[in-house]
Structure 1
Amino acid sequence: MNHMTTGVKWLLIVNSVLFVVYFLSARTVLGDFFLLLGLVPRSVLSSFAIWQLFTYMFLHSPLGFGHILMNMLSLWMFGTPLESIWGTRRFLQFYFFCGVGAGICVVVLNLFFGSLDTRTIGASGAIYGTLMAFGILFPKVTTYFFGLFPIEARWMVIIIGAIVFLSSLGDSGGAVSHFAHLGGLVFGYIWLRFNLGHKAKIRTDWRGDLQQRYKDWKLRRAKKKFQVYLKRHGSSTQDKRGGPGDWIQ
């Protein structure tokens, strides 16, 4: 896209600022405060630390720059086209829906298959949801898999989805939260499958929608009556060359 959209820009700014603060304060008292913002399943289930389902998205590992660079680059690449066609409000709703949904998947799947004491941070869940939406809405756009191999977006999403699913089967609290990635993909698909971004519009404008449908029905009915009238009187119609008027349908 030719410009930086508003929602993506502010997400980049907030994530980057918090990363710098977290990086500089990792070994201080403030660093201990940031630990409370990471997503820990046991804290959510036993201490009702529900805010962690939201705050974990804005933290990235202070041990290096690779984590935040990859996430922010992906957000810019795939989020900007989505926000351009959806608008800022709907894009942010989608982004946080995927991020919180991914956090819920982390808690639930770790409850049954992993460890309740794992700490998850990063915007990867929301980013994977954004990637799913991009692959569905721009399926034939050429992207570069791992930055090297040209491939259509739809196939890239399928390949990444398969990798994430297989990786999540062996996820046991390692350095990468495959549960969060899988949750982001799933919730991104749910949003698009059930068209969740338009529910508010349907609830508030249902009368106008019914009126428009009634007008369309009346127009179709009038057209049918007119076609019947033409068919009944078409046999006596002559064109300019004197031939029968069978051109009327």
Structure 2
Amino acid sequence: MIPLKDNIPTNSFPVLTVLIIAINTGVFIYELTLSPDELEIFVHQYGLLPTDILQLNILNLFTHMFIHGGIGHILGNMLFLWIFGNNVEDALGKVRFLALYFGSGLAAAFLQSFVAIFEGSLDIPMVGASGAISGILAAYMKLYPYAKVLTFIPPFFFFFFVLPAWFFIGYWFLIQVLYAMFVPTELGGVAWYAHIGGFVAGWILINKLYKKNLKLVHYSAIRY
């Protein structure tokens, strides 16, 4: 399922959401200028290997979140970040939003690395903002469970569906869990456990970071 738009207005311009998207886009454009050999060196230098966790390589814990493995990878991540991140940033404010984003990303990195170490996959670098964005999705689901998400489901061409956020994000999370359980890491090349770790971290962190009472926000009007 591909989200196209939600119906939650924002009270301020999402500066950090836009900045994170811009940095990711800039890094990806730089990746496109590299030869295959140069790109491999770049990914291994700034991506996250499980050994980086063991060696407490702090730099790579953050740099890997700004590297992506292809056009579909970055487009999907940035689309999700834009649609759901702007509202979460609006609700939390700048500092707490960054704490949620990077806190979720770090939790994702640790869980995925732990699984990789357990499986013996020590030479595969992890890249992408998916773990951090998973935390944003969890926060959005908790803040706005009844928000309406205009959704495109690829098999149903030319048809669009309006789904409640709790269903859209809940279904997305279920898929991550199922793939993590039944698809070997070496197949598909997707860090499913990073998605799970980031989501769980975001679900926990939003309770600590959101200072107001968590009330279920229900916007009945749908404006697209």
| Class of the TM-score when normalised by the shorter of the 2 chains | 0.7 to 0.9
| Mapping for residues 24-39 of structure 1, pairs under 5 Å | 24-27=33-36, 29=38, 32-39=41-48
Are 1:190 and 2:196 an aligned pair? no
Q: Can you give the 5+ residue segments of structure 1 that lack an aligned partner in the other structure?
A: 199-249
CA distance in 1, matches of 2:126, 2:77: 14
**Count of residue pairs the alignment pairs up:** 194
Contact kept? 1:118, 1:173, Cα under 8 Å: no
Q: Identify which of 138, 146, 154 aligns with 1:140.
A: 146
Are 1:67 and 2:68 an aligned pair? no
Contact kept? 2:17, 2:81, Cα under 8 Å: yes
Q: Match of 2:203, as an amino acid?
A: Y
Q: Which has the larger radius of gyration?
A: 1
Residue deviations 1:212-248 (CA, integer Å, cap 9, x gap): xxxxxxxxxxxxxxxxxxxxxxxxxxxxxxxxxxxxx
Q: Secondary structure at the match of 1:139?
A: coil
Deviation at 1:43, TM superposition (A): 3.7
Higher relative contact order (Cα pairs below 8 Å, separated by 6+ residues): 2
Q: Percent identity?
A: 34
Deviation at 1:146, TM superposition (A): 4.6
CA distance in 2, matches of 1:177, 1:78: 21
Q: Identify which of 186, 202, 214 aligns with 1:173.
A: 186
Contact kept? 2:91, 2:210, Cα under 8 Å: no
Q: Match of 2:145, as an amino acid?
A: P
Q: Match of 1:186, as an amino acid?
A: V
Contact kept? 1:95, 1:126, Cα under 8 Å: yes
Q: Secondary structure at the match of 2:145?
A: coil
Contact kept? 2:64, 2:126, Cα under 8 Å: yes
Deviation at 1:42, TM superposition (A): 2.8
CA distance in 1, matches of 2:13, 2:32: 26
Q: Match of 1:131, as an amino acid?
A: L
CA distance in 1, matches of 2:179, 2:39: 34
Structure 1 equivalent of residue 51 of structure 2: 42
Q: CA RMSD in A?
A: 2.1
Q: Secondary structure at the match of 1:51?
A: helix
Q: Secondary structure at the match of 2:46?
A: coil
Contact kept? 2:48, 2:60, Cα under 8 Å: yes
Deviation at 1:30, TM superposition (A): 7.0
Residue deviations 1:156-191 (CA, integer Å, cap 9, x gap): 222122111111123423321101111111111120
Q: Can you give the 5+ residue segments of structure 2 that lack an aligned partner in the other structure?
A: 1-8, 154-159, 212-224
Are 1:161 and 2:173 an aligned pair? yes
Deviation at 1:31, TM superposition (A): 5.6
Contact kept? 2:92, 2:210, Cα under 8 Å: no
Contact kept? 2:96, 2:209, Cα under 8 Å: no
Structure 2 equivalent of residue 91 of structure 1: 97
Q: Identify which of 104, 128, 132 aligns with 1:126.
A: 132
CA distance in 2, matches of 1:152, 1:109: 32
Structure 1 pair 196–83 and aligned structure 2 pair: CA distance change class (3 A): closer
| Mapping for residues 201-212 of structure 1, pairs under 5 Å | none
Structure 2 equivalent of residue 53 of structure 1: 61
Structure 1 pair 117–161 and aligned structure 2 pair: CA distance change class (3 A): same
- State TM-score, norm by structure 1: 0.71
Deviation at 1:90, TM superposition (A): 1.1
CA distance in 1, matches of 2:151, 2:175: 13
